[in-house]
Structures are given as structure tokens and as C-alpha cells.
Amino acid sequence: MPEFSAPQPPSPTADASAAVARQSLAEASIPLGPLDGRYRGVVDGLTEHLSEAALNRNRLHVEVEWFIHLTRHQVLPGLQPLTEEQERGLRAIVTEFGPDGIAELAEIERQTVHDVKAVEYYIGRRLGPLGLGHLTSLVHFACTSEDINNLSYAVGVRDAIAEVWLPAARAAVGTLRELAEEAAGIPMLSRTHGQPATPTTLGKEMAVFVHRLQRQLRRIEGQEFLGKINGATGTYAAHLAAAPDANWPEISRTFVEHLGLTWNPLTTQIESHDWQAELYADLARFNRILHGFCVDVWSYISIGYFAQIPVAGATGSSTMPHKVNPIRFENAESNLELSNALLDSLAATLVESRWQRDLTDSTSQRNIGVGLGHSVLALSNVTKGMKQLTVAEPVLAADLDTNWEVLGEAVQTVMRAQAIAGVSGMDDPYERLKELTRGRRVDGERMREFVQGLGLEPDAEARLVALTPASYIGLAEELARGNR
């Protein structure tokens, strides 16, 4: 037998080389996750709403608007409405928040070791030039951090759904709808339990998914985004201690609604996050329906019902030049699964909080953008993948023509109707068709011979003799075209 030497440990030079490589990657700030790296261009829109920087910008927005709200309504003794210039200056703190502001806020947080307190101090530094230095104490007045955070997340999630996720979802569903309409009349063999079954049309099967997805879209479009601002345990205790004559619930309600949110009147320290759980459950359900669509399309590609349009210069396989792989749908499947893993976790975690408050939601909510990001990436791949498909009508037609036995359902049903009408010789139609078709291949000639030997009334016999697998589609075409 040949002799093998024991493996040698890496040389010091190799160790040093690997260390240098690791150091160079770290210094280059290479993203850890694919959403911030490989796929950044697809999901970049979410950064505007659900990144850490976006969260801090929204915190600034909520704090500034609360400051303005309190002064406009002169909630506290001695407060006067601000000038238009002062209000513009305060709002400019939000609109001008960019790279320098992000760096400054991070530096403040390193000192405070508290993200919301850092936002308070960041705003306080900017009041002097606006002639508002004497009102530094009004920033974050009577607020707990969750008053700011729940509103900031609600604004961010609302805008991310409206401006990024929904447009991507509508675009994907739009490509499905186009196919449903174009293929409304293209006959296709059904497969129930994976076996040949009553024919349909390709467009009707696509329309089923369009109908299901549109229903979920309507639920998501009607989602409420709740918010609260009522203090450390939701009792307005500090508010009343400072200004007992103010109508704090009304002040809270009008402020939350001013932000474009729905007011939650009764909470603990945290807004209960039930609306988030509702939203994420609906998003996950949409994802699951779309996942089923991807599996079906992948399967239709595998049996040749769809041909994929090659992309110029693209490689399907590193070793098999003939291949055009359905990678768009495979990528979408995986990303929908990743999205749902996070959305399901968020929906389950966020509805619970120990007694009046714990911080499990703080870490969880920082992953909302990741959950939505994987869904947006999947939607992008579905949209692109659908545009690279063409229907292989000859393959669908050939499949139908080799499965005449699927007309057995039509024949036995007509026989039942004839029996009810009093035509003799129509006994045991199901058993007779089972004997003819079960486990056997039946061609057109054999099926017509069988029908002509049944003794049907002439019009019924003529209908069945004229029937083919390709024409046995019922109202499939009308159903597909009726889906809007």
C-alpha cells in the first residue's frame, strides 16, 4: 500500500498571510450580511426607513414635533408659540441629519450609553442659535424612551411598507397578472396529487395566485400603525404632576395623529406592538403564497411548460453549458423563507412584555428591516424571473394529447345526467369509466369508440365525441380573464 505522510501544520508565513488578509477585510468595512453587501442595490430603499440612522432621524423627528406641539398648545405655564422661523429651524435638525450628524450622535451615545438620551442632547445643542436655549428642558418633556421609540418605529415601518415593500409587491403581482391574462386561453393538463387530472388553462392557474396575493395586499394596505405617548407606565403621572390642568390624553391623541398614526389610548410603558404582529403575520402569509407560486413555476419549468429566455453573457452552470437554471425562483424561495423566519419571530416576540416593560422588543425591532429586506429581494427576483419566461405551448399541447383518460370525468358525469333524464343503459357510470381508464392510457380513438357505444342521446354523444383534453377546460379562460 502507498505510504502517506502526516499533514504538516501551516507554516508561520501562511499564518501571517492569513492574518494580514483578515485585517485587510476588517479595515475595508466589508458588510457581514448579504443585504448590506451583495444585494444592497435591491433593498437600498429600506435603508431610508429602517436602518439605525433612519431610526435616529425618526427619533429626532418625533422629539422635534413634540417640542413644537407643546409650544403651539401652550401646554405648560410660560410657554409661548414659536415663530415660523424657529419651527423651520427645529425641523431642519431632522432634514439636515446626515453623515456629520450621524457621527456626532454616535459620539454622544458613547458618553450617555443610551440612544434616546443621546438624541435629546443632540437637539439641545442646537437650540441656542434658534433663540430657544432657555427651553432645553422641554426636549423629551415627560417622555420615556419608549414614547419616542414606538412612534419612531411606527413612522419608519409605515413608510417602508408604503414606499418600498408595497411597490415591489405590486410589481411582482403585476407580472403574474400579465401572464394570467396572456395565457388565459392556453390549455394545460392539471396535476392533482401529481397525477394527470381535469385540464385547466395556464392563465387560470396563474390567476389563482393573483387573486390570493391581491387579497393579502388589501389587508396590508389597510394596516393601522399605532402609537402612544403617555409616560413611564402609561398613566400620564409625570404629565399631571407638572401640569395638572392640561388634558393630557387629548394632547397625546392629537400628537400621535399629527404624525399620521393611530392613537393607542391604553398601554403599559410600551405600545403593545399588536399592530406589528398583525402586519408581520400578513406579510408572512403573502410570502408563503408567493413561495408556493415559486415552487409551482419552478416545477413547470422542470417539465418544460415554460422555457427560460437566456440572458446574454450569463452562465447557467459552471460545467454544463446547455443549462439555464431557474435561479430567480430558487433565490426567491430561500429569501421568502428567511423573511418569514424573522417576521414570525417578530410577531411572536413583540406581543409579550414582562409586567410593564422589558427590553426584548428593543433588540427584536432592529431586525425589522432585515425581515422586510429578504422579502423585497424575493419580490425583485420574482419580477425579473417572470420576465425571463416564455410559455412552451407545444409542450403543453403534447402533454394534453397523451392523456385522453382525463375525459373520463366528463363522460361519467354526462352519463349520470342521462340516467337522471331517464335514458336507459346508464348504470354504474363511474365503475365503467374506471374500468376503461384507471391505470391505463387511452387515446382519442378509444375514447370516442367507448362514448359511441354507450347509447347516449344524440346531442350528448355529439358533445362528448367532439371533446378533447385541450377543449375540456370549462370556464377556465373566463375565470382567468375575470381576475382583475
- Hey, what's the cell of 386? 417572470
Task: Tally Cβ neighbours within 10 Å of residue 441.
Answer: 11
Residue 483 is predicted with a pLDDT of 61
- Using DSSP's 3-state secondary structure scheme, residue 391 falls into strand
Are 329 and 439 in the same domain? no
- Whether the CB-CB separation of 381 and 331 falls below 8 Å is answered with yes
Question: Which helix (H) or strand (E) element contains residue 373?
Answer: helix 368-386
Enumerate the active-site residues. 193, 317
Are 363 and 459 in the same domain? no
Would you list the DSSP string of 23-83?
A: HHHHHTT--SSGGGTTTHHHHHHHHHHHSHHHHHHHHHHHHHHHHHHHHHTT-STT--PPP
Task: Tally Cβ neighbours within 10 Å of residue 12.
Answer: 8
- CA pair distance 305, 188, nearest whole angstrom: 9
Are 390 and 448 in the same domain? no
- Hey, what's the cell of 92? 431642519
- Whether the CB-CB separation of 144 and 211 falls below 8 Å is answered with no
- Hey, what's the cell of 202? 395556464
- CA pair distance 238, 141, nearest whole angstrom: 9
- Whether the CB-CB separation of 483 and 207 falls below 8 Å is answered with yes
Are 254 and 264 in the same domain? yes
Residue 170 is predicted with a pLDDT of 98
Per the DSSP assignment, residues forming a β-bridge with 391 are: 306
Residue 123: inside a domain: yes
Are 211 and 337 in the same domain? yes
- CA pair distance 92, 369, nearest whole angstrom: 26
- Hey, what's the cell of 382? 420574482
Q: In CATH, what number is assigned to the domain containing residue 244?
A: 1.20.200.10
- Hey, what's the cell of 391? 410559455
Q: List CB contacts of 334: < 8 A, sequence separation 6 or more.
A: none
- CA pair distance 17, 26, nearest whole angstrom: 14
Per the DSSP assignment, residues forming a β-bridge with 227 are: 263
**% helix / strand / coil in the chain, to the nearest 5?**
65, 5, 30
pLDDT, one tens digit per residue, over 227-239 is 999 999 999 999 9
Residue 19: inside a domain: no
Calculate helix-pair angle for 444-452, 408-420, nearest 10 degrees. Answer: 10
| End residue of a domain, out of 122, 144, 166 | 144
Residue 294: inside a domain: yes
Residue 22 is predicted with a pLDDT of 56
Residue 314 is predicted with a pLDDT of 52
pLDDT, one tens digit per residue, over 232-260 is 999 999 999 999 999 999 999 999 999 99
Are 219 and 246 in the same domain? yes
User: What is the pTM for the complete model shown?
Assistant: 0.90
Are 160 and 113 in the same domain? no
Would you list the DSSP string of 96-108?
A: T-SHHHHHHHHHH
- CA pair distance 478, 184, nearest whole angstrom: 8
- Using DSSP's 3-state secondary structure scheme, residue 220 falls into helix
Residue 18: inside a domain: no
Residue 10 is predicted with a pLDDT of 59
Are 408 and 338 in the same domain? no
Are 94 and 124 in the same domain? yes
Residue 105 is predicted with a pLDDT of 97
Residue located via cell numbers 403543453: 396
Q: How far apart are the first and last CA of the chain?
A: 73
Residue 23: inside a domain: no
- CA pair distance 288, 339, nearest whole angstrom: 10
Q: List CB contacts of 277: < 8 A, sequence separation 6 or more.
A: 346, 347, 348, 350, 351
Q: What's CA 197's distance to the chain center, in Å?
A: 32
Task: Tally Cβ neighbours within 10 Å of residue 77.
Answer: 8
Residue 320 is predicted with a pLDDT of 41
Q: List CB contacts of 165: < 8 A, sequence separation 6 or more.
A: 283, 372, 375, 376, 379
Phi then psi for residue 13, to 5 deg, are -65, -40
**How many domains are contained in the chain?**
3
| End residue of a domain, out of 111, 144, 177 | 144
- CA pair distance 200, 198, nearest whole angstrom: 7
- Exposure string for 403-426, b = 16+ CB within 10 A, e = fewer: bbbbbbebbbebbeebeeeeeeeb
Phi then psi for residue 391, to 5 deg, are -80, 130
| DSSP state letter for 75 | -
Are 410 and 385 in the same domain? no
Are 164 and 253 in the same domain? yes
Residue located via cell numbers 408581520: 280
Q: In CATH, what number is assigned to the domain containing residue 131?
A: 1.10.275.10
Quote the domain boundaries for residue 461.
404-468
Residue 29: inside a domain: no
- Percentage of the chain beyond pLDDT 90 is 79
Could you read off the pLDDT tens digit of each residue along the chain, which spans 484 residues? 555 556 566 566 656 665 655 566 666 678 888 998 899 999 999 999 999 999 999 999 999 999 999 999 999 999 999 999 999 999 999 999 999 999 999 999 999 999 999 999 999 999 999 999 999 999 999 999 999 999 999 999 999 999 999 999 999 999 999 999 999 999 999 999 999 999 999 999 999 999 999 999 999 999 999 999 999 999 999 999 999 999 999 999 999 999 999 999 999 999 999 999 999 999 999 999 999 999 999 999 999 999 988 665 455 544 444 446 889 999 999 999 999 999 999 999 999 999 998 888 888 999 999 999 999 999 999 999 999 999 999 999 999 999 999 998 999 899 999 999 998 888 887 788 778 777 777 899 988 988 988 889 999 999 999 999 999 999 999 999 986 5
- CA pair distance 177, 203, nearest whole angstrom: 9
Are 163 and 117 in the same domain? no
| End residue of a domain, out of 397, 429, 453 | 397
